Amino acid sequence: MRICGRKEENPDKKRVGMEKATFGAGCFWGVEETFRQVKGVISTTAGYMGGTLKNPTYKDVCTDKTGHAEVVQIDYDPSVISYNDLLRIFWETHNPTTPNRQGPDEGTQYRSVVFFHTPEQEAAARASMEELEKAKVFMRPIVTQILPAQEFWPAEEYHQKYLEKRGISHCSTN
């Protein structure tokens, strides 16, 4: 649509041809920062998925009673980066063999999970996990859940681009 001779921005800020991916790999601050740096990733949003409470807050999720995982929802351009490449980054940047834990963070909200948005994403996630298991890339079995995407709840604003706002590139595990 044109307005006054210029093209109108998409009001949803969704770009035509973009796809979504949603990953939980521990604390969403580091996951968000990792994917935000990837060429072809258009936007990242830290949030919650997979639980029972509507519109959960960080405080709610931290009770370990809502069933939500801390996740990052990614809008990406599949003509620049493939879902398989996003999966590769997901597997390489966390430990998918530790149930409900990443580094010092412990609880179900820190579980390793792929929330798929399409049957193709489900097939790709399962195939990549099977390939890693067969190749014995990890010393222990992968415990990552592969589940259908559910309602996504964006985290509070202070969680968005958390590391970038603080001028740091990764979470400290000290």
* Active-site annotation, residues: 27
Contact 83, 120 (CB under 8 A): yes
Q: Which is it for strands 101-102 and 105-106: parallel, antiparallel or unpaired?
A: antiparallel
Report how far residue 149's alpha carbon sits from residue 143's, in angstroms, rounded to the nearest whole number. 18
| Residue 67, Cβ density class (10 Å: 0-12 exposed, 13-18 middle, ≥19 buried) | middle
Report how far residue 70's alpha carbon sits from residue 9's, in angstroms, rounded to the nearest whole number. 30
DSSP annotation of 113 reads E
